[in-house]
């Protein structure tokens, strides 16, 4: 079928880089705390709360600083530097531009933090690429399966899920999207995706 729109995820699709990469590399003690108390089972849902704007970067970094002894300003500087230098898979751009020429709508919907909006979004010129259809959970205080997908489809012209395909590495996001009637592609790496896209998106 020919889709009216294609939605991209960001984390795990555009970039597989992680926050605190250099901090975790240089400070093993801090790495252990971050793994356990930010990302891990002892994290008290901090990641989801951060992506809903219930917490912010400063609050997370203060928690890490107070519990590990690393200077807050140093930690914040290293954190922001890592975000600025995240490795990005730019091969998606050509696919998106081809879709736009075929009058297929494109959007990006991400469960993400404030630094995606302040750093990554302008750095990668996403508003230009996606024609202002960029939806970050932090900005809307809701995750994809809490209404962000619904909002995105409405903003894209009241689209039906059945006319849209989601490019995402998250089983949770894909299952939700499919239960709503949409299609999804289980993203693993760009090489496989490019082949699939040429056969299933660009040649329809």
Task: Report pLDDT digits (tens) over 43-79.
Answer: 889 999 999 999 999 999 999 999 999 999 999 999 9
b/e sequence 100-129, b meaning 16+ C-beta within 10 Å: eeeebbbbbbbbbbbbbbeebbeebebeeb
Closest CA to 68 of 78, 56, 82, 80: 78
The pLDDT, as a whole number, for residue 29 is: 87
Rg of the chain, C-alpha, whole Å: 18
The pLDDT, as a whole number, for residue 41 is: 83
What distance in Å separates the CA atoms of residue 187 and residue 78, rounded to the nearest whole number?
29
pLDDT of residue 32 exceeding 80, the answer is: yes
Q: What is the pTM of this model?
A: 0.94
What distance in Å separates the CA atoms of residue 195 and residue 190, rounded to the nearest whole number?
9
pLDDT of residue 197 exceeding 70, the answer is: yes
* Residue ranges matching CATH 3.40.50.1000 in the chain: 5-15+88-200
The CATH code of the domain at 5-15+88-200 is: 3.40.50.1000
Q: At what angle do helices 190-200 and 92-101 cross, to 10 degrees?
A: 10
What distance in Å separates the CA atoms of residue 94 and residue 144, rounded to the nearest whole number?
25
Q: 48 CB contacts (<8 Å, ≥6 apart)?
A: 111, 143
pLDDT in tens, 86-124: 999 999 999 999 999 999 999 999 999 999 999 999 999
Say if residues 25 and 180 touch (Cβ distance below 8 Å). no
């Amino acid at each position: 079928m020919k889709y009216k729109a294609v939605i991209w995820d960001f984390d795990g699709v555009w970039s597989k880089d992680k926050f605190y990469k250099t901090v975790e590399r240089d400070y093993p003690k801090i790495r252990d705390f971050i793994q356990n108390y930010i990302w891990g089972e002892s994290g008290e849902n901090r990641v989801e709360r951060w992506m809903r704007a219930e917490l912010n970067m400063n609050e997370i970094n203060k928690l890490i600083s107070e519990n590990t002894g690393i200077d807050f300003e140093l930690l914040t500087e290293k954190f922001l530097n890592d975000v600025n230098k995240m490795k990005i898979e730019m091969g998606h751009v050509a696919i998106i531009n081809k879709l736009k020429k075929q009058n297929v709508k494109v959007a990006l919907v991400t469960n993400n933090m404030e630094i995606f909006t302040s750093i990554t979004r302008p750095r990668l010129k996403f508003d230009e690429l996606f024609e202002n259809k960029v939806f970050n959970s932090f900005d809307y205080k809701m995750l994809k399966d809490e209404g962000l997908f619904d909002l995105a489809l409405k903003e894209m012209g009241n689209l039906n899920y059945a006319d849209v395909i989601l490019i995402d590495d998250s089983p949770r996001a894909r299952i939700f999207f499919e239960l709503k009637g949409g299609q999804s592609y289980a993203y693993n790496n760009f090489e496989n995706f490019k082949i699939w896209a040429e056969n299933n998106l660009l040649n329809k």
